[in-house]
Amino acid sequence: MSEIVKKRDIRALTLEQLKEIFVARGDKAFRAAQTYEWLWKKSARNFDDMSNLSKETRQFLKDNFVINEVVVDDKQVSNDGTIKCAFKLSDNYVVEGVLIPTENRMTACISSQVGCSLTCKFCATARLKRMRNLNADEIYDQVVNIRNIAMQHYNMPLTNIVFMGMGEPLLNYNNVLAAIEKITSEDGLHMAAKRITLSTAGVAKMIKKLADDQVRFNLALSLHAANDEKRSKIMPINEQNNLEVLADALKYFYQKTKNKITFEYIIFKDFNDKLQDAKELAEFCKHVPAKVNIIEYNPIDDGEFKQADSDKVDRFKAYLESRGIVVNIRRSRGKDIDAACGQLANKNEAAKQLLST
Protein backbone atom coordinates (compact mmCIF):
# COMPACT_ATOMS: atom_id res chain seq x y z
CA MET A 1 0.00 0.00 0.00
CA SER A 2 1.56 3.22 -1.17
CA GLU A 3 -0.09 5.36 1.52
CA ILE A 4 1.80 3.48 4.24
CA VAL A 5 5.10 5.33 4.27
CA LYS A 6 6.05 5.31 7.91
CA LYS A 7 5.10 2.77 10.52
CA ARG A 8 1.68 3.33 12.06
CA ASP A 9 0.48 2.51 15.56
CA ILE A 10 -1.52 -0.62 14.81
CA ARG A 11 -3.53 -0.43 18.01
CA ALA A 12 -4.88 2.96 16.97
CA LEU A 13 -6.79 1.21 14.17
CA THR A 14 -10.26 -0.26 14.41
CA LEU A 15 -11.00 -3.79 13.27
CA GLU A 16 -12.75 -2.40 10.19
CA GLN A 17 -9.71 -0.31 9.29
CA LEU A 18 -7.49 -3.38 9.65
CA LYS A 19 -9.81 -5.36 7.39
CA GLU A 20 -9.60 -2.66 4.72
CA ILE A 21 -5.81 -2.79 4.87
CA PHE A 22 -5.67 -6.57 4.54
CA VAL A 23 -8.22 -6.69 1.72
CA ALA A 24 -6.42 -3.87 -0.14
CA ARG A 25 -3.24 -5.96 -0.22
CA GLY A 26 -5.15 -8.96 -1.59
CA ASP A 27 -5.40 -10.83 1.69
CA LYS A 28 -8.44 -12.32 3.42
CA ALA A 29 -10.45 -10.12 5.82
CA PHE A 30 -10.29 -12.76 8.56
CA ARG A 31 -6.53 -12.12 8.82
CA ALA A 32 -7.43 -8.76 10.32
CA ALA A 33 -9.62 -10.47 12.90
CA GLN A 34 -6.76 -12.84 13.78
CA THR A 35 -4.37 -9.90 14.16
CA TYR A 36 -6.90 -7.97 16.23
CA GLU A 37 -7.33 -10.95 18.55
CA TRP A 38 -3.58 -11.15 19.09
CA LEU A 39 -3.44 -7.44 19.91
CA TRP A 40 -6.36 -7.14 22.31
CA LYS A 41 -7.39 -10.59 23.57
CA LYS A 42 -3.97 -12.18 23.80
CA SER A 43 -2.12 -8.89 24.50
CA ALA A 44 0.67 -9.70 22.04
CA ARG A 45 3.51 -7.19 21.96
CA ASN A 46 5.50 -8.71 19.11
CA PHE A 47 4.28 -9.54 15.60
CA ASP A 48 6.45 -12.67 15.62
CA ASP A 49 4.25 -14.05 18.43
CA MET A 50 1.26 -14.16 16.07
CA SER A 51 1.86 -17.80 15.23
CA ASN A 52 -1.26 -18.44 13.14
CA LEU A 53 -0.25 -15.75 10.64
CA SER A 54 2.09 -16.62 7.79
CA LYS A 55 5.68 -15.38 7.87
CA GLU A 56 4.86 -13.13 4.92
CA THR A 57 1.93 -11.55 6.78
CA ARG A 58 3.99 -11.06 9.92
CA GLN A 59 6.71 -9.42 7.87
CA PHE A 60 4.16 -7.09 6.28
CA LEU A 61 2.98 -6.08 9.75
CA LYS A 62 6.54 -5.53 10.97
CA ASP A 63 7.38 -3.43 7.93
CA ASN A 64 4.36 -1.16 8.24
CA PHE A 65 3.22 -1.05 11.86
CA VAL A 66 4.46 -0.76 15.44
CA ILE A 67 3.04 -1.89 18.77
CA ASN A 68 3.80 0.91 21.22
CA GLU A 69 4.33 -1.18 24.31
CA VAL A 70 4.07 0.15 27.85
CA VAL A 71 6.75 -1.45 30.01
CA VAL A 72 7.30 -1.72 33.77
CA ASP A 73 10.28 0.58 34.37
CA ASP A 74 10.32 0.24 38.16
CA LYS A 75 8.43 -1.79 40.75
CA GLN A 76 8.16 -1.34 44.52
CA VAL A 77 6.54 -3.72 46.99
CA SER A 78 5.02 -2.29 50.17
CA ASN A 79 5.14 -3.93 53.59
CA ASP A 80 1.39 -4.54 53.25
CA GLY A 81 1.77 -6.25 49.86
CA THR A 82 0.72 -3.31 47.71
CA ILE A 83 2.83 -3.05 44.54
CA LYS A 84 3.51 0.25 42.78
CA CYS A 85 4.71 0.30 39.18
CA ALA A 86 6.31 3.05 37.15
CA PHE A 87 5.24 2.50 33.55
CA LYS A 88 7.45 3.86 30.80
CA LEU A 89 5.58 4.92 27.67
CA SER A 90 6.89 4.75 24.10
CA ASP A 91 7.84 8.47 24.20
CA ASN A 92 9.66 7.96 27.53
CA TYR A 93 7.08 9.65 29.74
CA VAL A 94 6.24 7.77 32.92
CA VAL A 95 2.96 7.14 34.74
CA GLU A 96 2.29 5.11 37.85
CA GLY A 97 -0.16 2.34 38.63
CA VAL A 98 -0.79 0.27 41.75
CA LEU A 99 -1.84 -3.29 42.52
CA ILE A 100 -3.85 -3.40 45.75
CA PRO A 101 -4.24 -6.97 47.03
CA THR A 102 -6.74 -8.10 49.65
CA GLU A 103 -7.85 -11.54 50.73
CA ASN A 104 -10.58 -11.84 48.10
CA ARG A 105 -9.79 -9.27 45.43
CA MET A 106 -6.98 -7.86 43.32
CA THR A 107 -7.50 -4.24 42.35
CA ALA A 108 -5.56 -2.31 39.72
CA CYS A 109 -5.40 1.47 40.25
CA ILE A 110 -4.48 2.98 36.91
CA SER A 111 -3.69 6.38 35.41
CA SER A 112 -5.40 8.25 32.59
CA GLN A 113 -3.00 11.16 32.00
CA VAL A 114 0.71 11.94 32.26
CA GLY A 115 0.50 14.35 35.18
CA CYS A 116 -2.70 16.28 35.89
CA SER A 117 -4.16 19.66 34.93
CA LEU A 118 -6.21 19.98 38.12
CA THR A 119 -4.60 21.56 41.17
CA CYS A 120 -6.23 19.80 44.12
CA LYS A 121 -4.34 21.00 47.21
CA PHE A 122 -4.09 17.62 48.90
CA CYS A 123 -2.79 15.54 45.97
CA ALA A 124 0.85 14.98 45.01
CA THR A 125 -0.04 14.28 41.38
CA ALA A 126 -1.54 17.79 41.16
CA ARG A 127 1.97 19.20 41.54
CA LEU A 128 2.95 17.64 38.23
CA LYS A 129 2.21 19.46 35.00
CA ARG A 130 -0.13 17.60 32.65
CA MET A 131 2.08 16.53 29.76
CA ARG A 132 -0.51 14.68 27.69
CA ASN A 133 -3.44 12.29 27.71
CA LEU A 134 -2.83 8.55 27.63
CA ASN A 135 -3.98 6.66 24.56
CA ALA A 136 -6.47 3.81 24.92
CA ASP A 137 -3.77 1.18 24.36
CA GLU A 138 -1.58 2.76 27.07
CA ILE A 139 -4.42 2.57 29.58
CA TYR A 140 -5.14 -1.01 28.51
CA ASP A 141 -1.45 -1.95 28.87
CA GLN A 142 -1.38 -0.78 32.49
CA VAL A 143 -4.18 -3.24 33.24
CA VAL A 144 -2.40 -6.08 31.42
CA ASN A 145 0.86 -5.39 33.26
CA ILE A 146 -0.81 -5.23 36.67
CA ARG A 147 -2.84 -8.35 35.86
CA ASN A 148 0.41 -10.20 35.11
CA ILE A 149 1.99 -8.94 38.33
CA ALA A 150 -1.04 -10.14 40.33
CA MET A 151 -0.56 -13.63 38.91
CA GLN A 152 3.22 -13.59 39.43
CA HIS A 153 3.11 -12.38 43.05
CA TYR A 154 -0.19 -13.74 44.33
CA ASN A 155 -1.35 -16.34 41.81
CA MET A 156 -4.68 -14.53 41.67
CA PRO A 157 -6.43 -12.93 38.69
CA LEU A 158 -7.24 -9.25 38.57
CA THR A 159 -10.76 -8.69 39.89
CA ASN A 160 -11.25 -4.89 39.93
CA ILE A 161 -10.03 -1.75 38.18
CA VAL A 162 -10.21 1.79 39.54
CA PHE A 163 -9.38 4.91 37.54
CA MET A 164 -7.92 6.64 40.57
CA GLY A 165 -4.30 7.04 39.50
CA MET A 166 -2.69 10.04 37.83
CA GLY A 167 -4.91 12.44 35.91
CA GLU A 168 -8.61 13.26 35.54
CA PRO A 169 -10.29 10.50 33.48
CA LEU A 170 -13.14 12.69 32.23
CA LEU A 171 -10.65 15.13 30.69
CA ASN A 172 -9.43 12.21 28.56
CA TYR A 173 -12.93 10.96 27.85
CA ASN A 174 -12.62 9.28 24.44
CA ASN A 175 -9.44 7.38 25.22
CA VAL A 176 -10.67 6.25 28.64
CA LEU A 177 -13.94 4.93 27.23
CA ALA A 178 -12.14 3.27 24.32
CA ALA A 179 -9.81 1.54 26.80
CA ILE A 180 -12.72 0.37 28.95
CA GLU A 181 -14.39 -1.02 25.82
CA LYS A 182 -11.26 -3.08 25.10
CA ILE A 183 -10.99 -4.19 28.73
CA THR A 184 -14.62 -5.33 28.92
CA SER A 185 -15.13 -6.62 25.37
CA GLU A 186 -15.21 -10.34 24.53
CA ASP A 187 -12.59 -9.41 21.92
CA GLY A 188 -10.41 -7.94 24.68
CA LEU A 189 -9.87 -8.82 28.35
CA HIS A 190 -13.57 -9.57 28.91
CA MET A 191 -13.72 -8.10 32.42
CA ALA A 192 -17.13 -7.18 33.83
CA ALA A 193 -17.97 -3.47 33.60
CA LYS A 194 -19.39 -3.59 37.14
CA ARG A 195 -15.84 -4.37 38.33
CA ILE A 196 -14.59 -1.01 37.00
CA THR A 197 -14.90 2.31 38.84
CA LEU A 198 -14.11 5.67 37.29
CA SER A 199 -13.30 8.38 39.80
CA THR A 200 -13.71 12.02 38.84
CA ALA A 201 -13.00 15.30 40.58
CA GLY A 202 -16.29 16.46 39.07
CA VAL A 203 -16.60 17.54 35.41
CA ALA A 204 -20.36 17.99 35.26
CA LYS A 205 -20.87 18.10 31.50
CA MET A 206 -18.82 14.91 31.06
CA ILE A 207 -20.77 13.15 33.81
CA LYS A 208 -23.87 13.89 31.72
CA LYS A 209 -22.09 12.54 28.66
CA LEU A 210 -21.38 9.30 30.54
CA ALA A 211 -25.11 9.09 31.15
CA ASP A 212 -25.95 9.72 27.50
CA ASP A 213 -23.45 7.03 26.52
CA GLN A 214 -25.20 4.60 28.90
CA VAL A 215 -21.99 3.42 30.54
CA ARG A 216 -22.19 0.28 32.64
CA PHE A 217 -19.21 0.86 34.92
CA ASN A 218 -19.35 2.53 38.34
CA LEU A 219 -18.92 6.26 38.96
CA ALA A 220 -17.22 7.77 42.01
CA LEU A 221 -17.10 11.48 42.77
CA SER A 222 -14.15 12.86 44.72
CA LEU A 223 -16.24 15.13 46.91
CA HIS A 224 -14.18 15.80 50.07
CA ALA A 225 -16.50 18.63 51.17
CA ALA A 226 -20.23 19.19 50.74
CA ASN A 227 -19.77 22.91 51.17
CA ASP A 228 -18.86 25.07 48.16
CA GLU A 229 -16.52 27.37 50.07
CA LYS A 230 -14.51 24.51 51.54
CA ARG A 231 -14.53 22.44 48.35
CA SER A 232 -13.32 25.36 46.23
CA LYS A 233 -10.46 25.92 48.67
CA ILE A 234 -9.06 22.44 48.15
CA MET A 235 -10.40 21.71 44.64
CA PRO A 236 -10.37 24.70 42.26
CA ILE A 237 -12.46 22.68 39.77
CA ASN A 238 -15.42 23.39 42.08
CA GLU A 239 -15.45 27.01 40.94
CA GLN A 240 -16.77 25.92 37.52
CA ASN A 241 -18.48 22.75 38.75
CA ASN A 242 -20.07 23.70 42.04
CA LEU A 243 -22.16 21.39 44.17
CA GLU A 244 -25.48 22.48 42.65
CA VAL A 245 -24.17 21.84 39.12
CA LEU A 246 -22.69 18.50 40.18
CA ALA A 247 -25.90 17.42 41.90
CA ASP A 248 -27.81 18.13 38.69
CA ALA A 249 -25.32 16.08 36.65
CA LEU A 250 -25.42 13.19 39.12
CA LYS A 251 -29.23 13.12 39.09
CA TYR A 252 -29.10 12.96 35.30
CA PHE A 253 -26.51 10.17 35.44
CA TYR A 254 -28.59 8.10 37.86
CA GLN A 255 -31.79 8.69 35.90
CA LYS A 256 -30.14 7.34 32.74
CA THR A 257 -28.04 4.49 34.16
CA LYS A 258 -29.62 3.55 37.52
CA ASN A 259 -26.06 3.16 38.83
CA LYS A 260 -25.55 4.12 42.48
CA ILE A 261 -22.88 6.80 43.00
CA THR A 262 -19.92 6.54 45.38
CA PHE A 263 -18.87 9.73 47.16
CA GLU A 264 -15.20 9.70 48.11
CA TYR A 265 -14.48 11.81 51.15
CA ILE A 266 -10.90 12.30 52.30
CA ILE A 267 -11.18 13.47 55.88
CA PHE A 268 -8.70 16.16 56.98
CA LYS A 269 -7.93 17.21 60.54
CA ASP A 270 -9.78 20.38 61.60
CA PHE A 271 -10.99 21.06 58.06
CA ASN A 272 -13.84 18.75 57.09
CA ASP A 273 -14.07 16.39 60.08
CA LYS A 274 -16.74 18.15 62.20
CA LEU A 275 -20.34 17.15 62.81
CA GLN A 276 -21.48 20.08 60.64
CA ASP A 277 -19.44 18.66 57.76
CA ALA A 278 -21.10 15.29 58.26
CA LYS A 279 -24.55 16.97 58.23
CA GLU A 280 -23.73 18.75 54.96
CA LEU A 281 -22.53 15.49 53.43
CA ALA A 282 -25.69 13.69 54.54
CA GLU A 283 -27.80 16.39 52.88
CA PHE A 284 -25.83 16.08 49.64
CA CYS A 285 -26.38 12.33 49.68
CA LYS A 286 -30.11 12.97 49.33
CA HIS A 287 -29.67 13.95 45.69
CA VAL A 288 -29.01 10.42 44.40
CA PRO A 289 -28.77 6.87 45.77
CA ALA A 290 -25.20 6.80 47.03
CA LYS A 291 -22.70 5.33 49.44
CA VAL A 292 -19.76 7.09 51.06
CA ASN A 293 -16.15 5.98 51.20
CA ILE A 294 -14.31 7.85 53.94
CA ILE A 295 -10.65 7.82 52.93
CA GLU A 296 -7.77 8.13 55.35
CA TYR A 297 -5.62 11.09 54.31
CA ASN A 298 -2.09 10.34 53.17
CA PRO A 299 0.20 13.33 53.86
CA ILE A 300 2.37 14.56 51.01
CA ASP A 301 5.66 16.43 51.16
CA ASP A 302 5.17 19.94 52.60
CA GLY A 303 1.40 19.42 52.54
CA GLU A 304 -0.80 21.75 54.58
CA PHE A 305 -3.28 19.06 55.64
CA LYS A 306 -3.06 16.39 58.32
CA GLN A 307 -4.79 13.11 59.00
CA ALA A 308 -7.97 13.43 61.07
CA ASP A 309 -8.09 11.95 64.57
CA SER A 310 -9.52 8.44 64.59
CA ASP A 311 -12.22 9.27 67.15
CA LYS A 312 -13.50 12.09 64.92
CA VAL A 313 -13.53 9.75 61.94
CA ASP A 314 -15.56 7.23 63.93
CA ARG A 315 -18.07 9.91 65.03
CA PHE A 316 -18.33 11.19 61.47
CA LYS A 317 -19.09 7.69 60.22
CA ALA A 318 -21.60 7.01 63.00
CA TYR A 319 -23.53 10.18 62.18
CA LEU A 320 -23.82 9.30 58.50
CA GLU A 321 -24.97 5.79 59.38
CA SER A 322 -27.59 7.25 61.70
CA ARG A 323 -28.97 8.98 58.61
CA GLY A 324 -29.26 5.66 56.78
CA ILE A 325 -26.16 6.10 54.61
CA VAL A 326 -23.89 3.18 53.78
CA VAL A 327 -20.35 4.15 54.82
CA ASN A 328 -16.99 2.42 54.41
CA ILE A 329 -13.69 3.59 55.84
CA ARG A 330 -10.85 3.01 53.41
CA ARG A 331 -7.56 2.55 55.23
CA SER A 332 -4.43 3.53 53.36
CA ARG A 333 -2.41 0.91 51.53
CA GLY A 334 1.16 1.28 50.32
CA LYS A 335 2.01 4.46 52.24
CA ASP A 336 5.60 3.35 52.77
CA ILE A 337 6.21 3.39 49.00
CA ASP A 338 4.08 6.49 48.23
CA ALA A 339 1.46 4.30 46.57
CA ALA A 340 -1.54 5.40 48.63
CA CYS A 341 -4.38 7.62 47.47
CA GLY A 342 -3.08 11.05 46.43
CA GLN A 343 0.60 10.11 46.67
CA LEU A 344 1.39 9.17 43.06
CA ALA A 345 3.99 11.70 41.96
CA ASN A 346 6.67 9.84 39.97
CA LYS A 347 9.32 9.94 42.65
CA ASN A 348 11.52 7.22 41.20
CA GLU A 349 14.68 8.52 39.56
CA ALA A 350 13.83 7.49 36.00
CA ALA A 351 10.46 9.20 36.22
CA LYS A 352 11.90 12.40 37.65
CA GLN A 353 14.39 12.61 34.83
CA LEU A 354 11.74 11.99 32.20
CA LEU A 355 9.26 14.50 33.58
CA SER A 356 11.93 17.18 33.84
CA THR A 357 12.71 17.00 30.12
- Domain 71-355: which topology? TIM Barrel (3.20.20)
Domain ranges in the chain are 8-66, 71-355
So what's the pLDDT on residue 97? Answer: 95
DSSP character for 89? P
So what's the pLDDT on residue 302? Answer: 65
- Domain 8-66: which topology? DNA polymerase; domain 1 (1.10.150)
Tens digits of per-residue pLDDT, 190-210?
999 999 999 999 999 999 999
How far apart, in whole angstroms, are the C-alpha atoms of residue 148 and residue 154? Answer: 10
User: What's the whole-number mean pLDDT along residues 142-167?
Assistant: 96
Cα dihedral sign, 319-331-347-307 = positive
- Positions annotated as catalytic residues are 96, 341
**How many Cα atoms sit within 13 Å of 338 on the Cβ side?**
16
User: What's the whole-number mean pLDDT along residues 213-219?
Assistant: 97
Q: Please, what is the average pLDDT of the chain?
A: 91
How far apart, in whole angstroms, are the C-alpha atoms of residue 265 and residue 249? Answer: 19
Q: Does residue 159 carry a pLDDT above 60?
A: yes
Tens digits of per-residue pLDDT, 30-62?
999 999 999 999 999 999 999 999 999 999 999
pTM: 0.90
Q: Could you tell me what percent of the chain has a pLDDT over 90?
A: 81
Q: Does residue 350 carry a pLDDT above 60?
A: no
So what's the pLDDT on residue 357? Answer: 38
* Model confidence band, residue 6 (pLDDT cutoffs 50, 70, 90): confident
Tens digits of per-residue pLDDT, 273-310?
999 999 999 999 999 999 999 998 877 666 688 889 99
Please tell me if the domain spanning 8-66 has the same topology as the one spanning 71-355. no
> Are 212 and 257 spatial neighbours (Cβ–Cβ below 8 Å)?
no
So what's the pLDDT on residue 123? Answer: 82
> Are 241 and 250 spatial neighbours (Cβ–Cβ below 8 Å)?
no
Residue 107 contacts by C-beta under 8 Å, 6 or more apart in sequence?
99, 100, 101, 158, 159, 160, 161, 162
How far apart, in whole angstroms, are the C-alpha atoms of residue 188 and residue 290? Answer: 31
List Cα–Cα distances, 120 to 125, 128, 169, 233, in angstroms: 9, 11, 15, 9
